[in-house]
Chains A and B, each alone.
Chain A
Amino acid sequence: MSERAMSERATPRFPSRRSLLKGLGIGALALSSAASFARRSLAETLAEETTRLPLPGGPDTRKLTTSFPEKGEMILQRTRPPLLETPFEVFDKGIFTPNDRFYVRWHWAVIPTDVDAAAFRLKLHGAVNTPLELSLPEILELPRIEMAAVNQCSGNSRGFFQPRVPGGEWGNGAMGNALWTGVRLKDLLDKAGVKPGAVQVRFTGLDNVLVPDAPRFVKSLDIDHARDGEVMIAYAMNGTQLPLLNGFPLRVVVPGWYSTYWIKSLEEIEVLDKPDDNFWMAKAYKIPDTPGANMKPGETGVPMVPISKMVPRSFLTNLTDGAEVAAGKPQPLRGIAFGGDCGVARIDISTDGGKSWQPAKLGADHGRYSFRGWQAEIALPKPGSYSVMVRCTNTDGLAQPMTPNWNGGGYMRNVVEETALTFA
């Protein structure tokens, strides 16, 4: 098993492609120009492949890239700092998103590219009895927990907001589901001994700002949340160590909460005795304190709170918008769903604009924070255009809304998705 894991790491997809191209180049050209040929053709060929994200009003064309280490083909939103979106067809292939297709989002220009596993130390300090500096082997010796959980960017699907809002203009691919393995944050905090009066726990990663006075990207959780036994410090993702772009060697996992709290390449945990007032908690990632984080464009005086729990979503994955299918025959449908901060209770399908709904069959349950597969079958006797709606109701009874929410940050979109199909 460990041999297999190591060989997977030893042969990441990108370098082997490059070697292949180099090999071809050597056959065709003089040795002196082979390397530059390979480099140029790779960059040029890959840069020309594009995809369309149907964002209202555009721009809707994005490059596809395989130029990022430890990553397969991704939608290139930004090279520096990397914003890479998972192409949506990946979600039809399995309910666990492969590490090499998992979306990537960094805030600041200085991101870790070299981590020495032997020298790395995780620091835990602040309002604790015993400050800790733990090596990776020391962390691996602690009790191990495992959990399937969806990691979703707060602004996933921001590009579909109308009126449009500025920010990372994602389609629906700034999310993924992985099996995370690691240690309970609670166990680390107990080891250090949290002092009475502690109120929050702040996380800092290895990423850093380029301009000295700019606010480093840090996030905090309330002390009770941090000690709930579910918040995890993960060292493995889908059975292998994390890609650097997804937070090697350690990443905070906050099940059911948006990814802004899932600090990557975690190097410091600080127990605070007063609430964190840094920019990223006090000013950024704030949502209207209203049901569904919904407000009217231009509305003022709406109370704002830090974003937190996710809300239910569901997607059809085996047919894309505008697909043609055969009329009069049963049409199989399948997709993925997640409940947000709890499980999926049911998935319903509508082909009449939401007037009537039929239940879908749920796939295997990998825990309440995981993607859940679903399948259904529809039969539409007459040729014509229909749209298929998919609605998830979570185990708390919260269902996806029929109308989209709006807020200036472009956060928490979870409207019932609609896919137009032509039955011919």
Chain B
Amino acid sequence: MIKTPRATLGLILLALTLTLSLLVSLPLAVQAADNPPALPTDFALHSESITLPSNFDPFPEGPGAEAMNRNCLTCHSASMVLYQPKLSEAQWEGIVDKMVDIFKAPLIPDDRDAILDYLTSFQKAE
């Protein structure tokens, strides 16, 4: 839709009048209900390329931290673990099993105990 400048000006004035009358009659206007701009008829999509921040920050130090760093950071940042609420040993074990059995995390078998120890102790230490 192509509007003439005059029609656009008219619309702006109308919108301003409406806004002002709302401000006078109501103590607090509802959220701006600005419609997002209409999509032009000749809308086209343009290639996109982004660079994502990469965060491989290690887990806080403690017994088992190295096993955590070796096994967990490949797929996700440490914050995913550190932001979890306090969970029981059984819950942590269930999560580790899910990572291995369903999400196919290539866990080094000898690291499993150290990982469970870390997970169950870091929350107690807080």
Q: Which residues of A contact B (CB under 8 A)?
A: 1-2, 4-6, 9, 55, 57-59, 62, 65, 67-70, 76-83, 91-96, 108-109, 111, 113-118, 136-137, 140, 144, 146, 159, 164-166, 168-169, 178-179, 181, 209-215, 235-236, 238-239, 241, 243-245, 248-249, 279, 283, 317-318, 330, 332-334, 336, 361, 363-364, 366, 373-375, 377
Contact of B55 among A80, A94, A159, A215 (CB under 8 A): A80
How far does the Cβ of A191 sit from chain B's closest Cβ, in whole Å?
19
How far does the Cβ of B45 sit from chain A's closest Cβ, in whole Å?
5
Contact of B85 among A6, A57, A79 (CB under 8 A): A57
Contact of B31 among A59, A93, A165 (CB under 8 A): A93
How far does the Cβ of B44 sit from chain A's closest Cβ, in whole Å?
7
Q: Tell me the complex Cα distance, A5–B39, Å.
A: 9
- Which B26-80 residues sit within 8 Å CB-CB of chain A? 26-40, 42-55, 74-77, 79-80
Write out the residue numbers on chain B whose beta carbons fall within 8 Å of the beta carbon of A5: 37, 40, 43
Q: Tell me the complex Cα distance, A384–B60, Å.
A: 44
Contact of A169 among B31, B34, B84 (CB under 8 A): B84
Q: Tell me the complex Cα distance, A33–B96, Å.
A: 44
- Known A69-B51, A76-B79, A236-B39; judge A93-B32 contact (CB<8 A): yes
Beyond A80-B55, A93-B32, A166-B85, 17 additional contacts (C-beta under 8 Å) are A67-B53, A70-B50, A79-B54, A113-B51, A144-B39, A164-B85, A178-B36, A211-B105, A213-B104, A214-B102, A239-B38, A241-B45, A244-B50, A249-B45, A333-B28, A364-B33, A366-B33
Q: Tell me the complex Cα distance, A67–B30, Å.
A: 31
Q: Which residues of B contact A (CB under 8 A)?
A: 26-40, 42-55, 74-77, 79-80, 82-87, 91, 95, 102-106, 126
- Identity of the chain A residue whose Cβ is nearest the Cβ of B26 in the assembled complex: A375
CB atoms of B84 and A166 under 8 A apart? yes
Q: Which of A78, A169, A235 has the most CB of B within 10 A?
A: A78
Q: List 13 A-B contacts (CB under 8 A).
A: A62-B83, A68-B52, A78-B79, A79-B55, A79-B79, A80-B54, A94-B33, A113-B51, A117-B45, A178-B36, A241-B46, A249-B45, A363-B31
- Identity of the chain B residue whose Cβ is nearest the Cβ of A59 in the assembled complex: B83
Write out the residue numbers on chain A whose beta carbons fall within 8 Å of the beta carbon of B105: 211
Contact of B104 among A59, A214, A375 (CB under 8 A): A214
CB atoms of B48 and A244 under 8 A apart? yes
Contact of B39 among A95, A114, A239 (CB under 8 A): A239
CB atoms of A92 and B31 under 8 A apart? yes
Chain B's interface: helix, strand, loop or mixed, by majority?
loop
Write out the residue numbers on chain A whose beta carbons fall within 8 Å of the beta carbon of B87: 164, 166
CB atoms of A181 and B54 under 8 A apart? no
Contact of B27 among A82, A118, A330 (CB under 8 A): A330
- Identity of the chain B residue whose Cβ is nearest the Cβ of A144 in the assembled complex: B39
- Known A68-B53, A96-B36, A239-B37; judge A248-B31 contact (CB<8 A): no
Q: Which of A178, A210, A336 has the most CB of B within 10 A?
A: A210
How far does the Cβ of A207 sit from chain B's closest Cβ, in whole Å?
12
- Identity of the chain B residue whose Cβ is nearest the Cβ of A62 in the assembled complex: B83
CB atoms of A1 and B37 under 8 A apart? yes
CB atoms of B52 and A82 under 8 A apart? yes
Q: Tell me the complex Cα distance, A79–B103, Å.
A: 19
- Known A94-B31, A95-B31; judge A136-B45 contact (CB<8 A): yes
How far does the Cβ of A109 sit from chain B's closest Cβ, in whole Å?
5
- Known A113-B52, A169-B83; judge A118-B47 contact (CB<8 A): yes
Write out the residue numbers on chain A whose beta carbons fall within 8 Å of the beta carbon of B26: 332, 375
Closest 9 CB pairs of A and B: A373-B30, A164-B85, A332-B28, A363-B30, A79-B55, A69-B50, A239-B37, A238-B36, A332-B27
Q: Tell me the complex Cα distance, A374–B30, Å.
A: 6
How far does the Cβ of B42 sit from chain A's closest Cβ, in whole Å?
6
- Known A109-B75, A113-B52; judge A235-B28 contact (CB<8 A): no
How far does the Cβ of B94 sit from chain A's closest Cβ, in whole Å?
9
CB atoms of B43 and A140 under 8 A apart? yes
Contact of A57 among B27, B36, B44, B86 (CB under 8 A): B86
Write out the residue numbers on chain A whose beta carbons fall within 8 Å of the beta carbon of B106: 211
CB atoms of A78 and B30 under 8 A apart? no
- Identity of the chain B residue whose Cβ is nearest the Cβ of A60 in the assembled complex: B83
Write out the residue numbers on chain B whose beta carbons fall within 8 Å of the beta carbon of A181: 39
